[in-house]
């Protein structure tokens, strides 16, 4: 059931969602669409749509849910789609498309609908329990992983993604843009930063070789607009509301409608065939029960929630390995200033740089099982000599933006500021009950997050690489002047943050982000019942249930270190094509490159 994060304290300035476990917010109960003055114009209550028949019911109104529903409507002019969202309406846009005053919601409008198992010291990054989900606040990095970075993924799925147009579809849907396409603020500092990284990273252990400038750049989901202004960060909310308006007779959204249980029936043995022994028949929700009739059900509500929901609903049917294989990214984060004197010709106006640095750490014995772990660093910088007038632009342009006080201090007439955000690959093993897991027990969803020695060794090596990045590449002065480097140490309640000479102690976050893998996909050998068997098939359908599908990162066999949104959206488009195959037109898939 819906639970928020627990506490009444305000998040201190300079802290992010990764620190939110120290400052969660009190309960804000979701309400129905007819109780909200905005949602009432676009959304429905369950009572209003109860008698309707739908072809597909999607649980979750985030990035993946919106991608699936949008593609279904493109593919089939008759398909009827229902989106059930547990949260209320919070924001109409990505928070960085709005005034900076809304920034505080990044760390306060959060929830943790889970408990930690005994002995667990790590937590997950909190959820955003509103229409749009985490994509209301996400950083918008959308790298496309290479096949070599997608270990243990089924070849059939990789072939579909590579040759079916799904990567480009996902980029189009999200509004992909390279930094150089995002306006004059990226014309001077960005190329200078890239040149320094290209020449300097090779001297730092664990960074991968840079063969060309493209190795340091990935798209951002920052052009989700037809406007000539050419800048708008992607959020699912406008897309969902537009689709519900354009297709009012066959697309409905119900907010404040948490799904609490999936009721089902076992099929007669002669009817089972290859589709499994069970069929979902009814949803138990916060607003009442909803018969599925002949609809297919898609769970696109993250990783933890669908895993717990399925364990609760199909306890006697789901394989015992469901909920294992919990992967994601271990994180560290800090901000730093270096003297402006070492950087030339940046001009007198705001300049921004955004780069994506790839690394690899060998984790001990080189066995067939595992030779290495990958990491990457979001490196963002700003030359901002007039912060009193440019902070609002910086807030909109920089991908990872957390605190107004920090943005105002990021750079000045004497210094350039950088945000260094490190994400490393956390791996678990399918079927390993002693590893990191999601479990539904005694009416609660429990997280057992257990970093291995390799997880922690990766984080340590990644942190050391980031430190050397600052001292050997970003700082451009003499060795004896390195004491001029300043690191931002976030404040505490009643105490503002400040720049200091030492790296902040809290930069290593005991938090897993970009969680994935608990309902991993794959083919299952006939009659196999081992705990390591895949939970979903190659079309993301539960092996045991013939009309329940899972959308998003829960189906990832492994997570790599890349940001997952582009891959999750591409898989969502592929799933939509399975549920409602597109028409063929002039030798290619209809809508292949349409948004």
C-alpha to C-alpha distances, 477 to 188, 343, 371, nearest whole angstrom = 20, 9, 37
Average of per-residue pLDDT values in the chain: 88
Q: Which residue has the tokens 């190329």?
A: 191
Digit-coded pLDDT (tens) for 333-349: 899 999 998 898 898 89
Among 156-170, 222-236, 273-287, 521-535, the range with the most confident prediction by mean pLDDT is 156-170
Would you give the end-to-end CA distance of the chain in angstroms? Answer: 34
Model confidence at 9, pLDDT cuts 50, 70, 90, reads very low
How many other C-beta atoms lie within 10 A of the C-beta of residue 51?
Answer: 7
- Cα 448 → chain centroid: 20
pTM of this structure: 0.92
pLDDT at 120 over 80: yes
| Beta-sheet pairing, 548-550 with 296-299 | parallel
Among 38-52, 240-254, 373-387, 389-403, whose mean pLDDT is lowest? 389-403
| 193-197 LR contacts (CB < 8 Å, sep 24+) | 193/353, 193/355, 193/379, 193/381, 194/353, 194/355, 196/473, 196/474, 196/476, 197/355, 197/357, 197/379, 197/473
> Residue 563: inside a domain, yes or no?
yes
For the segment 566-570, the average pLDDT, to the nearest whole number, is 98
pLDDT reported for residue 400: 83
For the segment 492-500, the average pLDDT, to the nearest whole number, is 82
Name every residue whose Cβ is closer than 8 Å to that of residue 522 and which is 6 or more positions away in sequence. 154, 533, 534, 536, 537, 538, 557
> Residue 6: inside a domain, yes or no?
no
pLDDT reported for residue 494: 78
> Residue 595: inside a domain, yes or no?
no
**Angstrom distance (rounded) from CA 177 to CA 156:** 29
For the segment 347-356, the average pLDDT, to the nearest whole number, is 93
pLDDT at 24 over 70: no
Tokens of 275: 């589709």
The CB-side HSE value for 486 (13 A sphere, CA atoms) comes to 20
Q: What is the CA radius of gyration of the chain?
A: 24
pLDDT at 370 over 80: no
The string of DSSP codes covering 117-177 is PTT---EEPPB--BTTGGGGT---B-----GGGSTT--HHHHHHHHHSSHHHHHHHHHTEE
> Residue 32: inside a domain, yes or no?
no
**Angstrom distance (rounded) from CA 100 to CA 426:** 33
For the segment 288-306, the average pLDDT, to the nearest whole number, is 97
The CB-side HSE value for 580 (13 A sphere, CA atoms) comes to 26
pLDDT reported for residue 144: 97
pLDDT reported for residue 287: 97
Number of domains in the chain: 1
C-alpha to C-alpha distances, 434 to 37, 116, 184, 229, nearest whole angstrom = 48, 15, 52, 52
pLDDT at 404 over 70: no
Name which residue leads in pLDDT, 147 or 344: 147
Model confidence at 227, pLDDT cuts 50, 70, 90, reads low
Domain coverage including residue 447: 17-26+44-589
For the segment 162-170, the average pLDDT, to the nearest whole number, is 97
pLDDT reported for residue 21: 46
pLDDT at 564 over 90: yes
C-alpha to C-alpha distances, 456 to 172, 179, 511, nearest whole angstrom = 37, 32, 12
**Angstrom distance (rounded) from CA 142 to CA 125:** 19
Tokens of 115: 């408990």
For the segment 441-456, the average pLDDT, to the nearest whole number, is 91
pLDDT > 70 in the chain, percent: 88
Q: What are phi and psi of 562, to 5 degrees?
A: -75, 150
Run of H or E residues at 500: strand 498-500
For the segment 84-106, the average pLDDT, to the nearest whole number, is 92
> Residue 37: inside a domain, yes or no?
no
Burial class for 28, CB neighbours closer than 10 Å (0-12, 13-18, 19+): middle
**Angstrom distance (rounded) from CA 234 to CA 94:** 6
- Among 153, 533, 518, 556, CA closest to 319: 533
For the segment 400-409, the average pLDDT, to the nearest whole number, is 68
Model confidence at 526, pLDDT cuts 50, 70, 90, reads low
Q: What are phi and psi of 203, to 5 degrees?
A: -90, 0
pLDDT at 590 over 50: no
pLDDT reported for residue 364: 65
> Residue 250: inside a domain, yes or no?
yes
**Angstrom distance (rounded) from CA 355 to CA 374:** 17
Name which residue leads in pLDDT, 367 or 216: 216
> Residue 3: inside a domain, yes or no?
no
> Residue 216: inside a domain, yes or no?
yes
Looking up residue 372, the CATH number of its domain turns out to be 3.50.50.60
Run of H or E residues at 280: strand 278-285
Name every residue whose Cβ is closer than 8 Å to that of residue 404 and which is 6 or more positions away in sequence. 13, 100, 103, 391, 395
pLDDT reported for residue 31: 87
The string of DSSP codes covering 217-235 is ---EE-B---STT--B---
Model confidence at 406, pLDDT cuts 50, 70, 90, reads low
Among 7-11, 286-290, 410-414, the range with the most confident prediction by mean pLDDT is 286-290
Run of H or E residues at 482: none
Digit-coded pLDDT (tens) for 66-92: 999 999 999 999 999 999 999 999 999
Model confidence at 1, pLDDT cuts 50, 70, 90, reads very low
Bridge partners of 355, per DSSP, are 379
For the segment 152-169, the average pLDDT, to the nearest whole number, is 97
Beta strand spans in 314-460 (E):
327-339, 351-362, 372-383, 415-426, 437-441, 444-448
Model confidence at 276, pLDDT cuts 50, 70, 90, reads low
Digit-coded pLDDT (tens) for 317-333: 999 899 999 999 999 98
pLDDT reported for residue 106: 86
């Amino acid at each position: 059931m819906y639970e928020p994060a627990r506490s009444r304290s305000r998040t201190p300035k300079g802290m992010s969602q990764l620190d939110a476990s120290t400052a969660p917010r009190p309960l804000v109960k979701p309400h129905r669409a007819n109780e909200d003055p905005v949602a009432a114009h676009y959304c429905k209550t369950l009572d209003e749509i109860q008698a309707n028949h739908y072809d597909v019911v999607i649980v979750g109104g985030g990035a993946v849910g919106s991608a699936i529903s949008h593609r279904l409507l493109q593919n089939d002019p008759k398909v009827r789609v229902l989106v059930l969202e547990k949260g209320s309406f919070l924001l109409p846009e990505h928070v960085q498309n709005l005034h900076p005053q809304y920034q505080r919601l990044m760390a306060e409008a959060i929830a943790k609908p889970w408990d930690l198992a005994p002995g667990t010291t790590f937590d997950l990054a909190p959820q955003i329990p509103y229409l749009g989900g985490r994509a209301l606040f996400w950083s918008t990095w959308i790298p496309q992983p290479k096949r070599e970075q997608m270990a243990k993924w089924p070849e059939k799925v990789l072939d579909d993604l590579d040759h079916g147009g799904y990567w480009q579809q996902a980029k189009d849907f999200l509004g992909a843009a390279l930094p150089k396409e995002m306006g004059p603020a990226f014309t001077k500092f960005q190329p200078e930063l890239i040149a320094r990284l290209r020449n300097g990273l090779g001297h730092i252990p664990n960074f991968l070789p840079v063969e060309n400038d493209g190795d340091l750049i990935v798209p951002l989901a920052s052009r989700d607009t037809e406007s000539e202004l050419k800048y708008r960060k992607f959020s699912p909310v406008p897309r969902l509301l537009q689709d519900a308006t354009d297709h009012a007779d066959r697309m409905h959204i119900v907010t404040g409608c948490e799904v609490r249980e999936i009721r089902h029936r076992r099929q007669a043995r002669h009817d089972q065939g290859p589709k499994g022994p069970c069929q979902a028949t009814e949803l138990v929700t916060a607003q009442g029960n909803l018969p599925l009739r002949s609809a297919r059900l898609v769970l696109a509500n993250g990783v933890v929630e669908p895993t717990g929901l399925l364990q609760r609903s199909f306890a006697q049917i789901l394989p015992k390995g469901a909920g294992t294989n919990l992967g994601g990214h271990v994180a560290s984060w800090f901000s730093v200033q270096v003297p402006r004197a070492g950087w030339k010709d940046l001009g007198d106006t705001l300049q921004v740089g955004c780069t994506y640095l790839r690394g690899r750490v060998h984790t001990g014995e080189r066995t067939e099982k595992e030779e290495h772990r990958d990491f990457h660093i979001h490196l963002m910088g700003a030359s901002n000599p007039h912060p009193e007038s440019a902070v609002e632009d910086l807030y909109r342009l920089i991908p990872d933006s957390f605190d107004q006080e920090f943005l105002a201090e990021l750079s000045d007439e004497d210094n350039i500021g950088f945000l260094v955000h490190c994400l490393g690959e956390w791996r678990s093993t399918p079927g390993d009950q002693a590893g990191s897991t999601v479990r539904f027990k005694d009416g609660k969803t429990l997280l057992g997050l257990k970093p291995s020695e390799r997880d922690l060794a990766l984080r340590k090596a990644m942190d050391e690489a980031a430190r050397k990045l600052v001292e050997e590449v970003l700082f451009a002065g003499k060795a004896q002047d390195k004491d001029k480097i300043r690191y931002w140490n976030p404040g505490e309640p009643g105490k503002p943050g400040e720049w200091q000479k030492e790296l902040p102690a809290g930069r290593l976050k005991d938090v897993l982000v970009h969680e994935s893998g608990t309902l991993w996909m794959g083919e299952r050998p006939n009659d196999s019942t081992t705990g390591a068997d895949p939970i979903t098939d190659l079309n993301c359908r539960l092996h045991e249930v013939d009309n329940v599908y899972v959308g998003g990162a829960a189906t990832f066999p492994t997570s790599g270190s890349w940001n997952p949104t582009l891959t999750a959206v591409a898989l969502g488009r592929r799933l939509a094509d399975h549920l409602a195959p597109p028409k063929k037109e002039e030798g290619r898939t209809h809508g292949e490159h349409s948004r």
